[in-house]
Chain A
Amino acid sequence: KAGVTQTPRYLIKTRGQQVTLSCSPISGHRSVSWYQQTPGQGLQFLFEYFSETQRNKGNFPGRFSGRQFSNSRSEMNVSTLELGDSALYLCASSLPDIGELFFGEGSRLTVL
């Protein structure tokens, strides 16, 4: 069974640009969560999608958004990038109402 796939793995952007990250969950998993990981802040929950609906949301500004498609694939978008958005963005999928997360390898974003 294929794991969680995140693309791209690495990307470099400049301040003010926007970025879209993609996540393909494990087949059969309908819940997708996104996390931001930085050395200073650790793992920060961004949002969770289940059946194309945002079910939970963390404490991030509106520049961070996401969506989920009917095939459970998910994208997150960050607009008007700031230097502080440099981070590893992790996607995780799960079966509904289980709580056990399966993580991808992450997309490492560098904002210059």
Chain B
Amino acid sequence: AQSVTQPDIHITVSEGASLELRCNYSYGATPYLFWYVQSPGQGLQLLLKYFSGDTLVQGIKGFEAEFKRSQSSFNLRKPSVHWSDAAEYFCAVGAQDSNYQLIWGAGTKLIIKP
């Protein structure tokens, strides 16, 4: 069955430290991959996406993610987090042959220590 796993429910990092949020997927087709961020009380905002090409993609707010087909992973990274990065992060996967219907991870809540 198709699935997306974000193994970390919560992650706490110090301001200025580096960040990596994990996303693993199980998908038969060539996937389209997304990371979204949700600040408290807000809707979701697209951080970055991978459709094809260079497996290292750059997004907004200084985030990047790397698609590793052999590991079925699409981990999100940031070299130095800011207090404003505290939010919940969602990984999502879709494919053309499933009508682009996205499958969502459960989310990872990022807590920033001052």
Residue pair A99, B42 in contact (C-beta under 8 Å): no
Q: From the candidates B49, B101, B107, name the one contacting A43 in the complex (CB within 8 A).
A: B107
Known: A97-B96, A100-B34, A100-B49. A90 touches B44 (CB 8 A): yes
Residue pair A106, B107 in contact (C-beta under 8 Å): no
Q: From the candidates B43, B100, B101, B107, name the one contacting A103 in the complex (CB within 8 A).
A: B43
Which B residues are CB-close (under 8 A) to A100? 34, 46, 49
Q: How far is the CA of A90 from the CA of B107 in the complex (A)?
A: 15
Q: How far is the CA of A101 from the CA of B100 in the complex (A)?
A: 10
* Nearest residue, chain B, Cβ from A9: B41
Overall SS of chain A's interface: strand
Q: Is A85 an interface residue (CB 8 A)?
A: no
Cβ proximity bits B68-106 to A, threshold 8 Å, 1 near / 0 not? 000000000000000000000010001010011110101
Residue pair B43, A56 in contact (C-beta under 8 Å): no
Q: Is A12 an interface residue (CB 8 A)?
A: no
Which B residues are CB-close (under 8 A) to A103? 36, 43-45
Number of interface residues of A (CB under 8 A): 20
* Nearest residue, chain A, Cβ from B31: A99
Q: Distance (Å) between the CB of A41 and the closest chain B CB? A: 9
Which B residues are CB-close (under 8 A) to A92? 43-44
Q: How far is the CA of A102 from the CA of B101 in the complex (A)?
A: 14
Q: Distance (Å) between the CB of A98 and the closest chain B CB? A: 7
Which A residues are CB-close (under 8 A) to B104? 42-43, 45
Q: Is B32 an interface residue (CB 8 A)?
A: yes
Q: How far is the CA of A43 from the CA of B44 in the complex (A)?
A: 11
Residue pair B100, A97 in contact (C-beta under 8 Å): yes
13 contacts between A and B (CB under 8 A): A42-B107, A43-B104, A45-B102, A92-B43, A92-B44, A94-B100, A98-B100, A99-B34, A100-B46, A102-B46, A104-B43, A105-B41, A106-B43
* Known contacts A43-B90, A92-B43; 16 further A-B pairs (Cβ under 8 A): A4-B43, A92-B44, A97-B96, A99-B32, A99-B102, A100-B46, A101-B36, A101-B44, A102-B46, A103-B36, A103-B43, A103-B44, A103-B45, A105-B42, A105-B43, A106-B42
